[in-house]
Amino acid sequence: MTDVANKTKRYEPEEITQKDVTKAYLRWHFANEIPHSFDRYLAASLLYALMPILRKLYKDDDDLRAAYQRQLLFFNTQLTWGGGVITGLMASMESQRAEQEANNEEITMTDDLMYNTKAGLMGALAGIGDAIDSGTIQYIFIAIAIPWAQQGSALGALFPFVAFATYQVLIGLFFARQSFKMGSNATGLMASAGIQTMIELLSILGLFMMGILAGNYVKVSSTFEFSISGRPFVLQDILDSILPGILPLAVVLGVYWYYTKYGLKVTRALLWLTGILIVLAAVGIL
């Protein structure tokens, strides 16, 4: 009885703090694509992130090896939204698993539960993260910096990179710390009213920014003109008086329609667009 008690006390897991979770996320963030492999994708990065936490939790070598193997299964998600939430959540679940093992309790945090949790979240969160980060936030920073770049300022090139990199670190840390704090209820973080409202607002803002970019930096105008009873008829002047910016909008909507109908085939879309513009220019419409 004494030996069992001593063994239990010896292998008691250490407490995992928010500082540990912060360190784990930063390790994930900066090692994200380095050990990328075909069979495991980003699993090695996640394991690298969690290694200091796992060493604090599992003092027995066999338990530690099992935890390493558990976190080394196939894993792929977006850097901040998926990576942040899942890093914090895995830290919380492993902490609960270690407590159950140390106290000889029934293991409810099974290997299957942990992997199924990752598998269920990594795709959904990646979709949200790509749409918000890469599809919205990144272009907002670019749109802000374009006037500086046009003026020849180096800030126009540096600002989007620095601002976006800083944003990603901060938002990833927020999700990691919040999901660790919420534990097994972390999936509710994405479904919370505040997060959903933020996603909707960012999506609307992103649409506005795309419209602003198209209106200001997609330059398409018509050169078509003729005379009627000695009075010039200039098509571009008519369009400007009725629907300013209709031609750039038509080009953007045309490209968008092509992508939705035929898929994101960028090179083919550019070739078609170039060919159409050349023909319209040749006949004197553009």
- Terminal CA-to-CA distance of the chain, rounded, Å? 90
pTM above 0.85, yes or no: no
Query: Which amino acid, residue 47?
Result: L
CA atoms within 13 A on the CB side of 47: 21
- Spatial distance between the Cα atoms of 172 and 123, rounded to a whole number of angstroms: 16
Q: What is the pLDDT of residues 198-217, one digit of tens each?
A: 556 655 665 666 666 666 66
Q: What is the Cα–Cα distance from 207 to 23, expressed in whole angstroms?
A: 35
Distance between CA atoms of residues 183 and 177, nearest Å: 10
Q: What is the tens place of the pLDDT at every residue in 100-144?
A: 888 888 887 888 888 888 887 887 788 788 878 887 888 888 888
Backbone φ, ψ for residue 38 (5° rounding) = -70, -40
CA atoms of 201 and 5, how far apart (whole Å): 55
Give the model confidence (pLDDT) of 213-265 as tens digits: 666 667 777 776 777 666 777 776 777 777 777 777 787 788 778 878 777 67
3-state secondary structure of 131: helix
